[in-house]
A = this chain, B = another copy of it.
Amino acid sequence: MSKAPSPKPLPQIRSTADFARHVGLARTTVSRVLNGQPGLKPKTIERVQAAMEATGFTPNAYALHLKGKRTATVGICMEDLLTPPAVRKLAALQRLLRERNFASLIEVLDPGHSRRVVRHFLSMRVDAVVFIGHFIEEEIAQRIAELSAHGTPHLVIDHAGITGANTVSLDRARGMVAVVEHLLALGHSTFGLLALTSLARTAQERMVGVRAALSAHGVDFEACTQTRDHLHVRSGDFDYGRALAATFAAEKKRPTAFLALNDEIAVGAIHGFQAAGLRVPQDVSVTGFNNQDICAMATPGLTSVDQQISPTAAAAAELLLAQFNQPVRRKPLLRTISPQLIVRGSTGPARR
């Protein structure tokens, strides 16, 4: 490490008044330049800009917005920052907002803390509040009602079905329809469900798709699906998937196709089956959900359902802008994103 450079002792400029004095102009004139107002000599503009560069002066945003200017800030509530698909949506949305000169305040929303976080956002006079992930339904419905009462736009990404909420969500049922039809086409007629019996909303949405697809093809749901979810504890998804697969592998009559709640569980299941001497996809087919990076890294590659991050973020940005332009609405704005099945090596023809 080399030494720190001695910081140049800049004149302490803390306000436009200080700054105007430093440049030798009126405060009003400086303000005009800063706000790009017309009727100024090019020379004056240059002088101010040069002084900005030299001194690094930045007008106090807190004073600026107090005067009523839009804060151009969006508050984003994240379920957590450890779920890759959620973070990818965050990244994509933040990029779109940045392009439109919106800054974002990001907070992780621990259960029960949403009120505090949303109030902080409101005190920051955000132009909108976005929720990304899955939350406690009543809690968020409450927050949405408060935001609506305040006239603050909002948007929920991923968590469908919240009363009164403007929502962008993935059609998970449709994703599972695609999975089931893919497997039916490969000749499968018995299905193992991995973690799909969860009471979580996203699991239930998926189950709707599974049932619909099976019944549309004249297959009896009860007779041809099986689960062992209750036999293991879901601590880590990878291990849970492996344990579920181990259980199925030890049984004589087992399904030929396995549908997992997500990619981690699916990859765990592949490991579990392989460890038990079964081949994927020759003996059993396995599918995931989310199409994360790990799908490509599994052996064989994991057939999964892509969440379509870019279209999701684009729809989100669109719904936000729509609310900025026309804040008061009767009906919630709803947008559904269609997922896309990505077929890889983990699914193959059913074993006869």
Contact = CB atoms under 8 A, between A and B. Distances in A.
Q: How many copies does the complex hold?
A: 2
A105 B8 CA distance: 27
Interface stretch (A225-233, A248-256, A289-297): A289-297
Given A62-B66, A82-B91, A149-B56, A297 B238 contact: yes
Interface in A45-77: 56, 58-66, 71
Contacts of A163: 1-5
B82 A88 contact: yes
Given A58-B122, A268-B297, A297-B238, A145 B87 contact: no
A111 interface: no
B149 A10 contact: yes
A107 interface: yes
Interface stretch (A172-180, A197-205, A208-216, A330-338): A330-338
Interface of A: 1-5, 7-10, 56, 58-66, 71, 80-82, 84, 87-88, 90-91, 94-95, 98, 103-108, 119-120, 122-125, 145-146, 148-150, 161, 163-164, 238, 264, 267-268, 271, 274, 293-294, 296-299, 330-332, 334
Contacts of A331: 3-4
B297 A4 contact: no
